[in-house]
Structure 1
Amino acid sequence: MAEPFRVGFVPGVSPGKWFTRWEQRLPDSPLAPRLVEPEDQRRLLVEGEVDMCFVRLPLDRDGLHLIPLYEEVPVVVAAKDHPVTAFDEVDVADLAAEHLLQDAAACPEWAAVAEEVREGRRVEPPPMTVAQAVEVAASGAGIVVLPMSVARLHQRKDVRAVPVTGVATTQVGLAWRVDNEDPRVETFVGIVRGRTERSSRQPDARPADARPEAKRPGPGRGRGAGGARRRGGPGPRKGRPGR
């Protein structure tokens, strides 16, 4: 049996449908899924501990191919009785008086309007996992801004997540090493892109900027005088072909 094809994914990504399609098409090629923390996603790819990985941008792409897949809506997570939870959507300016339970650099749009930053009384919170930050938010001590998929992963009865405008969306992509020539890479890319098993198209897993430029016709090839494109020759003659 072939060596397992190792595919990582960061929290919040739900790759189950693609894994199922892989198992249906390649039952003799086992898949080895692995949950990867965002801070480890590049290292695990570069060191070859995973063959491919569903990553959350930003990501240093040096030595990697990357296919962007979709964007994630940002939300603010707060205690269930917090005033922001009364709305279906809030703007980042509405959070100016709130205390962010993350590094301010994690949400520069909030930092640009935050009163505690402007007044110089901002105290950065201690390092916390997402689960810990959400737990503190549940106490009413502050807010957390997360991609919606991550907020759902850490959903609790004592917090609410509300979409927030004015904050950049995050993006999820599929990445792998440039020097990874395993043919299963192209197969997996085809599955993620929705190509059917019977598709006659040969998938090119490389991003557009990594593919060779198409050759242009040289002088006199395919064009007439003055650069005008030549028309085709006369069509087939009517009647039965000669033997």
Structure 2
Amino acid sequence: MTGTQPPPAFRLAYVPGVTPTKWVRIWHERLPDVPLGLLPVPAAEAADLLRARGADAGFLRLPVDRTDLSAIPLYTETTVVVVPKDHLVAAVEEVAAADLADETVLHPLDDTLGWERPPGRPALERPATTADAVELVAAGVGLLVVPQSLARLHHRKDLTYRPLAGVPQSQVALSWPEDATTDRVEDFIGIVRGRTVNSTRGRAGGTQAADKDAAQSQPKPKGRPAPGKSAKGARGGSATPRGARRGKPRGRS
């Protein structure tokens, strides 16, 4: 007994803080027969997972070595400082990096902002993870600077956060192995970029087809006056040649 094999699942990796829900929903609407598997991955391991073909595409944080990976930057996150609710920082709307000069600022090993040293004074030890650092903030050990999505991910009722100005920001991108740009990858790129379901961009020959469709959809230019006729004549006005006399002809003597 033979049967049609189901299409292979599209494997989508994503780092902490990224919420792919909207794009996953559109995928299921457009490609209901193609399963989509979600693979949460630590930010530091995302690029290696793609290179090892552990996922077809993934949402990761820039910068990333693009020697063998393609990447489409999507958005830049606001950087925030996480503090206890009773901290002085909680009383203001925005904080400057200089305002943290006398504070102990935790720098977890899985930091995603890519700086050598956060503002403030360093803690005696670096927490292993952002989750561990959040626990230390709650214990009053120090403050934590992270992208806003991570502050939301690790939300606690006894903590809050405020935007932090003058510091690096994290940029999220869609990435995939450069030599594995399959039709399914192109489908997902189209979804992320907001293309319509009928768009052919990204597929082989898609650009030419799209250009042809665009040309055909352009309004046709209005006809020009025939040679020898003026524009005024073409609109129904007088087409009397220049220099010709108007009025009734004079009688001959």
TM-score, normalised by the number of residues in structure 2: 0.74
CA distance in 1, matches of 2:48, 2:115: 28
Give 1:236 deviation, angstroms.
9.1
CA distance in 1, matches of 2:166, 2:182: 41
Output aligned runs, 1:37-76, within 5 Å: 37-76=42-81
Equivalent residue letter for 1:29: V
CA distance in 2, matches of 1:71, 1:110: 20
3-state SS in 1 of match to 2:151: helix
Equivalent residue letter for 2:169: T
Structure-1 residue corresponding to 2:245:
none
3-state SS in 2 of match to 1:184: helix
Structure-2 residue corresponding to 1:230:
none
Check the 8 A contact 1:8/1:53 in 2, yes or no. yes
Check the 8 A contact 2:79/2:170 in 1, yes or no. yes
Alignment match of 2:21 (pick from 16, 33, 58): 16
Structure-1 residue corresponding to 2:176:
176
Give 1:124 deviation, angstroms.
4.0
CA distance in 2, matches of 1:49, 1:174: 15
Structure-2 residue corresponding to 1:225:
none
Listed one character per residue, the Cα deviations across residues 139-196 of structure 1 (whole Å, up to 9, x for unaligned) are 2210000000110000001111111001121100000001103211111000000011
Structure-2 residue corresponding to 1:167:
167
**Of 55-64 and 183-192, the range deviating more from structure 2:** 55-64
CA distance in 1, matches of 2:66, 2:82: 30
Look at both structures and tell me which one has the larger radius of gyration over its CA atoms: 2
CA distance in 1, matches of 2:168, 2:149: 15
Structure-2 residue corresponding to 1:190:
190
3-state SS in 1 of match to 2:179: coil
Alignment match of 1:97 (pick from 91, 99, 102): 102
Give 1:123 deviation, angstroms.
4.8
Q: CA RMSD in A?
A: 2.5
| Higher RCO (CA 8 Å, separation ≥ 6 residues) | 1
CA distance in 1, matches of 2:40, 2:115: 29
Listed one character per residue, the Cα deviations across residues 75-99 of structure 1 (whole Å, up to 9, x for unaligned) are 0001111111111111010001111
Identity %: 44
Structure-1 residue corresponding to 2:10:
5
CA distance in 1, matches of 2:88, 2:110: 24
Relative to structure 1, the CA distance from residue 87 to residue 65 in structure 2 (aligned partners, 3 Å threshold; closer, same or farther) is: same
Check the 8 A contact 2:183/2:203 in 1, yes or no. no
Give 1:4 deviation, angstroms.
0.4
- Corresponding position: 1:141 with 2:141: yes
**Of 122-131 and 66-75, the range deviating more from structure 2:** 122-131
Give 1:127 deviation, angstroms.
3.2
Gaps of 5+ in 2: 1-5, 205-223, 228-253
Give 1:198 deviation, angstroms.
2.1
3-state SS in 2 of match to 1:157: coil
3-state SS in 1 of match to 2:137: helix
Gaps of 5+ in 1: 117-121, 206-234, 239-243
CA distance in 1, matches of 2:73, 2:114: 23
Give 1:113 deviation, angstroms.
5.5
TM-score, normalised by the number of residues in structure 1: 0.76
